[in-house]
Structure 1
Amino acid sequence: MAATAAEMISGKLEAEVELHCSPAKFYDMVKNSVHDLPSHTPTHVQAVQVHEGDWDAHGTVKFWIYTCEGKLEVFKERVEYDDAKRIVKLNGLEGDVMKLYKVYNVIYQFVAKGDGNGDGKQQGLAKLTIEYEKLNPNVPPPTKYMNFITLLVKEADASLVKAA
């Protein structure tokens, strides 16, 4: 059975990264001090700035300057938080990635492994999802951005563990 045109244009990529710091700590960094991310991941993120709103407020618009596959890029997003489930959703608004995708949303969820609530020193997982809709069928899926996000989480995790 052949894929429909909509299926060829829209999609979702998923990955998991094992965390060595607690899921609660990683979520807290992403929600409350993402402006410090460049100090944790200098090879990937050069700056994160608030464009509209407050750092930890639902609906805040942030502007990212980052390096993906050796190329400096920018990304403007509106962020949503779900504290109970430790989910951060970045809804793409503008930037380099939006030249290829009509819809580009990145979802991070930080979950505990096994029993427990992810506080303290418990390790966990970062579940990563990219929801996308290509501007046309010739655009590749955002695999390079999933690779970028995976590397970013691994580097930030190692830095958070080292800083503990």
Structure 2
Amino acid sequence: MALHGSIKIDLWIKAPADQFHNVFSARPHHISNASPEKIQACELHEGDWGNSGSVINWNYVHDGESKVAKEIIEEINDEKNFTKFRVIDGDLMKQYKDFTLLVQATPKDGGSLVHWSLDYEKLNEDVPEPYTLLEFCAHVTKDISTHLVAQAA
């Protein structure tokens, strides 16, 4: 069993790609408004919203448990609607040596195709693949889309 891995998912949503991207790149603290059962808070730890190099803290519920994560925004590409986060502290670091989340939205069929990629290195072979976290990302994506579409109506 490999310690390094990558899992991906593509989801079609009704929200425009640039609006969806803006939520993750510049306004992640608004995600709790769209998905309050999953995201309790997102707070700026250092830097500025919407800038690479900024550090943010997440409080979220995953697999029925309250969890925390501290992430650095490694890259924001507004032309490609792409944001890359690296987890640097929190619950995921109990099982993973390295964990990166990449999210990209591409305009498609009157909405967007959202691509998630979770790239990781497990601490040992007993650590499960993070499929439930990928499912969590998919649910949050759908919640954000519903929220954005409702705001536009």
Q: Place the TM-score, normalised by the shorter chain, in its bin.
A: over 0.9
1:85 Cα offset (Å): 1.1
From 83, 92, 100, the equivalent of 1:88 is: 83
- Give me the whole-angstrom Cα distance separating, in 2, the residues matched to 1:14 and 1:67: 21
Q: 1:129-140, aligned counterparts within 5 Å?
A: 129-140=117-128
Please say if 1:26 is aligned against 2:14: no
Following the alignment from structure 1 to structure 2, what is the Cα–Cα distance between the partners of residues 60 and 78?
6
Distance 1:98 1:18 in 2: 30
Q: Please give the TM-score of this superposition, normalised by the length of structure 1.
A: 0.89
Matching of residues 39-78 of structure 1 within 5 Å:
39-78=33-72
More strand by proportion, 1 or 2? Answer: 2
- Alignment counterpart, residue 38 of structure 1, candidates 8, 32, 36: 32
The alignment status of 1:159 with 2:147, answered yes or no, reads: yes
Separation of aligned partners in 1, 2:61 and 2:55: 20
Identity among equivalent pairs (%): 30
One-letter amino acid matched to 1:112? P
**Which amino acid is the alignment partner of residue 13 of structure 1?**
I
3-state SS in 2 of match to 1:140: coil
Larger radius of gyration: 1
2:103 alignment counterpart: 108
Distance 1:96 1:144 in 2: 14
Runs of 4 or more consecutive aligned structure 1 residues displaced over 6 Å after TM superposition: none
Give the alignment of 1:115-126 within 5 angstroms.
122-126=110-114
Tell me the SS of whatever aligns to 1:50: strand
CA distance in 2 between counterparts of 1:76 and 1:35 reads 13
Superposition CA RMSD, Å: 1.1
- For structure 1, which runs of at least 5 residues remain unmatched after alignment? 115-121
